Chains A and B, each alone.
Chain A
Amino acid sequence: MQHSFPDPESQINASRAAIRLSGVTKEFRGSAEAAVADLSLDIEEGSIVALLGPSGCGKTTTLRMINRLIEPTSGTIEINGTNVADIPAQELRRGIGYVIQQVGLFPHRSIASNIGTVPKMLGWNKKRIAERVEELTSLVGLDHDLLSRYPDELSGGQQQRVGVARALAADPPVLLMDEPFGAVDPIVRARLQDQLLELQSEVRKTIVLVTHDVDEALRVADQIALLNVGGVLEQLAAPDDLMRTPANDFVRTFVGEDRWLRRLHLNLVSSLPHHTGPILPIAATFGEAREVLAAEGVSWLGITEDDVFLGWVQASALDAVEAAGGSLADLERQLPAAQVEPTSTLRSAMELIMVSNTSAAVINEGGKFGGVVTLEGIRRGLAGDTS
């Protein structure tokens, strides 16, 4: 089969791809309303974009237009500046990974053969295919013993992993995922979502993911495109921005009333403005201690030595130790129960603050003291209030 096009990989560029939808409309015959209406969307290379919305919002239709399983009525879709309509459909699809909810593994082929489907079509030799299959098996965390099995012998979660491995087989720069984790139970789903993020940190694909699950979108996406019925784009924003500044009532209702609580999951301790708190080095004087306590209005004082947090001391014990002629070092210290890391979520910081009697969590930055987190600090951080 001779084509004027060399290789889909070179068409869409081997490693990176940005996707641009311009005025894309899809009207199905016999349907009065458009499934997708004049949709324009820029998808950055190497990012995960979630197409989120209620059923009938055209999110799956939009996804399927990218690999031409559905042809748009009007408008263009470009991958790295190349109009997909100019690439023969089958070649285009071999250069785009495709994962669906029901997985769609070939029941009559072994797991290894399923994963090797696209490389085989691209004419790779057996050795190269076998090596690639092994590599992918490790990448998606599958047991190598499963390679000789048939799909029906695997669990739903394992099948979904095979589906992802199969989609990645020819190392396509673009991955389209249609409700990829919709058919597995919530525990497996959460694990697969985490694995997708881990995987993404290694492979850096441009991923378009269709979902109706707000939590899934918030969890995995860099950008969320929230679509309304009829394929109308209501808002395109990073997950936290969608929560913080919903564009309209539809977005507000769709993401839910508890969006502020959800934001606790999305933001990390490192996103908060630095707050030192009532902290003093061990060599400080009692006078300095009283000043800090008064300024912060708290009854606990943190002691550090060489940037390492030693523990909390109680303000009420200051007088007695000073009268006995001691220093800050002589105060009885309590190791903090509440310790977080910069990469902890605000939710877990909040949880720890709730159960600590100092109303603050200490940030442990690789063994060094990195400031404290308080409830007030979290409130201000989420509100974008830096005063």
Chain B
Amino acid sequence: MSGAALLGEARNPIIRWEWVYEEWDQIREALLEHLELTMLAMALGLVVSTILAAIALRFRWTMTPITATTSLIYTLPSVAMFALLAPVFGNLSRVTAVLPLAAYTLLILVTNIVAGFQSVPQSVRDAADGMGLSPARRVWSVELPLAMPFIMTGIRIATVSTVGLVTVAAIIGQGGLGRLIFNGLRRAFWTPMTVGALLSIILALMLDALILWIGLLLSPWQRRKKAAA
């Protein structure tokens, strides 16, 4: 009995490299799907957040309802959300996965975009107006660059948490690397689970580093300030 168990352990190690080699196409496909879902959700999230943030900044009274709504969405359990949308858009539809994923990014993105624009000193706005910059030019060439560190931080946090959430979308047959994890769990075969888990962690870390780097590239004056401090 114990011998069979030991044999079983030996045949089901944490990772079996032959499987990785044989199923490489499936793994790559899952990874790309994971990346694609993350990017689609982030793109949609950014578009919607930008609109919501612009409304909140323009009409201050909308700030509270917008924050309340995005906070409420953020508290909804992700599994429940995927489950609820599945009958609406179809189980295997990409929309069913991307919509909730994008919705979860809103709270972080809107908050950071608003905070970024609010961080622009009033004196800088005043000087820009006083020198004859048009409002559009002021927003584009002065306020946006100054808000960028906040916005990039929001994008980083939202991206990393989206990479995590995508795995959950596996319950509706999407989910990229999440599918490997669920398959492994269901079959009690550790290798796909390990591969899926490790790759999603690596993906999150790499995207985090990449966005951090882009952010620094976009805000050279911030780097110099930190170096001087």
Contacts and interface: CB of A to CB of B under 8 A. Distances in A.
Interface stretch (A23-31, A85-93, A195-203): A85-93
Nearest to A118: B131
A91 B122 CA distance: 22
Contacts of B145: 108
B132 A91 contact: yes
A67 B126 CA distance: 12
B78 to A, nearest CB: 37
A89 B131 CA distance: 10
Nearest to A91: B132
Nearest to B218: A108
A163 B131 CA distance: 11
A153 interface: yes
Interface stretch (B33-41, B43-51, B87-95, B220-228): B220-228
B151 to A, nearest CB: 13
A61 to B, nearest CB: 13
Interface in A7-58: none
Contacts of B142: 106, 108
B131 A93 contact: yes
Interface in B122-172: 122-134, 137, 142, 145-146
Given A90-B134, A94-B131, A104 B124 contact: yes
Interface residues of A, number: 30
A380 to B, nearest CB: 47
A100 interface: yes
B194 interface: no
A249 B89 CA distance: 80
Interface string A343-373: 0000000000000000000000000000000
B183 interface: no
A84 to B, nearest CB: 13
A98 B130 contact: yes
A284 interface: no
A107 B225 CA distance: 10
Contact of B132 (A90, A150, A152, A153): A90
In the complex, which of the residues A92, A101, A108 has the most CB atoms of chain B within 10 Å of its own CB atom?
A108
A350 to B, nearest CB: 42
B146 to A, nearest CB: 6
Given A106-B142, A108-B221, A152-B221, A94 B132 contact: yes
Given A150-B221, A150-B224, A152-B225, A104 B132 contact: no
B130 A107 contact: no
Contacts of B67: none
Given A150-B225, A153-B228, A106 B124 contact: yes
Contacts of B134: 90
Contacts of A69: 126, 129-130
B221 A107 contact: yes
Interface string A258-279: 0000000000000000000000
Interface of B: 121-134, 137, 142, 145-146, 219, 221, 224-225, 228
The 6 closest A-B pairs by CB, nearest first: A104-B127, A93-B132, A102-B123, A98-B130, A94-B132, A104-B123
